Structure 1
């Protein structure tokens, strides 16, 4: 994906060709749609790391038959896949990219307490305020071009239901315009180096960037003229992410899972009483659809569930602990 502060939300690549079925399945599959802000965050990070990846396009709203088969009904995008391991939520996906690229600064574990609080603010209250700021005809035209007029109506109904199901602490602020202005002012002060992380971008940069990407690139809003440091930072990130990607079909995604074994479980599983039991896991903030499976790993930062379907065989589905709730399956 490549864009700039005045361009449109498009995905470009240095290499783009359909994937052919072969004995070798490339490692990293991203299930995403073009205007998803959190998917933009992951695409930009993959490009910065110069990691090749496979693009499995999905729709902006359920039903998503392929993702449902692999991730058991998890409804948020993006989802990443490496063989028979499925990664839900961008926090877990960032951990995987950090490990693949040897860049620990891209992992949530690299953040100190102050940075973590900033990222939480950027990806909750500020993010939803920026999504609200993006509302307008440029956004409507992009959605209609992607899913058609009826798809737009379905998307609006879907997002309305998602908002109504939000936990109180996840609800968008009442005065989104004030929140966005304060955020831009804060970024302008923080940007004393090329990136928030210093000379090279870190997770804090990509987390602070993707909500602005949605408002500016997808919503067509002009937010940065009065914030030159933030504008330059935004453009640096926007131009980092030229990368190699290829399309992959749904059948090939299923084959990648079916023809692989989940990777070995970490040795650091704790003594969680639910290990080996049927459980249900769901986000605790928004998009609250639950996934069922058998808990096979309970780690300091993530849960791993075992699921089995006739189509994909056995898969391990990874979730972060933060902002997710785990309970015995009813």
Structure 2
């Protein structure tokens, strides 16, 4: 197996989720820092236009969305498991809630005027404007939750998380950590790292103690890599598609040209030849002038596929 290459930036919440999974599984990985906003020419060369962060690369196989990245890491290093058998279905369900409802509530709460400098650091007004325009484009016109609504919902979610820990378990679903912990953690980590808004967590001591336990897994063993090196590696490697199965729910056959995009935000389509449509994954093969032949992988849940126009 080729080395794990992780394309991310430091304050990305979903990147923190995967960085901690690297620690949980004691994995070595190459760290490629990418811009927080478009344009991202080196990322685009690998993905074909997918704009969310993070992205994981293994040779010429490119994995999008942390739900799928977590599954791939589970195949690479099955022990310790992100999906303990007794809670496998429940842990995935809690993770999906955390990656969507909890995440967007945390984002709406944290991105309040008093917190902006703590989130983005010392940036110029022009950089702030560019960041705002980029995130507006990602939302594709979807309305943002108001601060009062986000505050109320976040308080309720925090009460629920505190209740999950009230029986003395070390982690959300029992004695063992699972994908539920890493997905729930990253949204609260984004709040906790910003002093102007972190105080909302203080009334939930069990949650704070649990967060410290999750953080203690560390981030594995990263080594720096330049994005140009990652592209060169993709170009010199053949994709290793492990699953060429077809669960046909679209009337589209393997080998047809398709476009795949998220169903909620950042609706930038990635076009290519369909090479996998399994129960939980889509994958397309595409050719890039710089990266060569790559296979870009997406989870089925949360994404949509159409014939390419």
What is the TM-score with the length of structure 2 in the denominator? 0.90
Counterpart for residue 270 of structure 2:
291
Deviation for aligned residue 1:200: 2.3
Q: Is 1:118 aligned to 2:94, yes or no?
A: yes
**How many equivalent residue pairs?**
302
Counterpart for residue 187 of structure 1:
161
Deviation for aligned residue 1:104: 7.3
Instruction: Work out the CA distance in 1 between the residues paired with 2:202 and 2:118.
Output: 24
Correspondences of 1:26-175 after superposition (within 5 Å): 27-103=3-79, 105-106=81-82, 114-135=90-111, 136-145=113-122, 148-166=124-142, 172=145, 175=149
Q: Flag structure 1 segments of 5+ consecutive residues without an equivalent.
A: 1-24
Deviation for aligned residue 1:289: 0.7
What are the Cα deviations for residues 256-291 of structure 1, in whole angstroms up to 9, with x where unaligned?
101111114425334563310111010011111111
Compare 157-166 and 34-43 and name the one that shifted more.
157-166
What are the Cα deviations for residues 145-170 of structure 1, in whole angstroms up to 9, with x where unaligned?
4x65422210111112333434x8xx
Instruction: Work out the CA distance in 2 between the residues paired with 1:219 and 1:154.
Output: 24
Would you say the 8 A contact 1:144–1:151 is kept in 2? no
What are the Cα deviations for residues 193-214 of structure 1, in whole angstroms up to 9, with x where unaligned?
1001322211000011100000
Q: Is 1:321 aligned to 2:300, yes or no?
A: yes
Tell me how large the CA RMSD over aligned residues is.
Answer: 2.4
Q: Flag structure 2 segments of 5+ consecutive residues without an equivalent.
A: none
Counterpart for residue 238 of structure 1:
215
What are the Cα deviations for residues 118-159 of structure 1, in whole angstroms up to 9, with x where unaligned?
3333222221121122234554245244x6542221011111
Counterpart for residue 305 of structure 1:
284
Counterpart for residue 178 of structure 1:
152
What are the Cα deviations for residues 46-66 of structure 1, in whole angstroms up to 9, with x where unaligned?
111110111111111111011
What are the Cα deviations for residues 222-280 of structure 1, in whole angstroms up to 9, with x where unaligned?
23222111110011111211421111012210121011111144253345633101110
Secondary structure of 2:52's aligned partner: coil
Instruction: Work out the CA distance in 2 between the residues paired with 1:194 and 1:276.
Output: 47
Would you say the 8 A contact 1:134–1:219 is kept in 2? no
Pick the aligned partner of 1:258 from 224, 235, 238.
Answer: 235
Instruction: Work out the CA distance in 2 between the residues paired with 1:108 and 1:38.
Output: 22
Would you say the 8 A contact 1:277–1:294 is kept in 2? yes
Instruction: Work out the CA distance in 1 between the residues paired with 2:138 and 2:225.
Output: 29
Would you say the 8 A contact 2:140–2:265 is kept in 1? no
What is the TM-score with the length of structure 1 in the denominator? 0.84
Instruction: Work out the CA distance in 2 between the residues paired with 1:256 and 1:249.
Output: 11
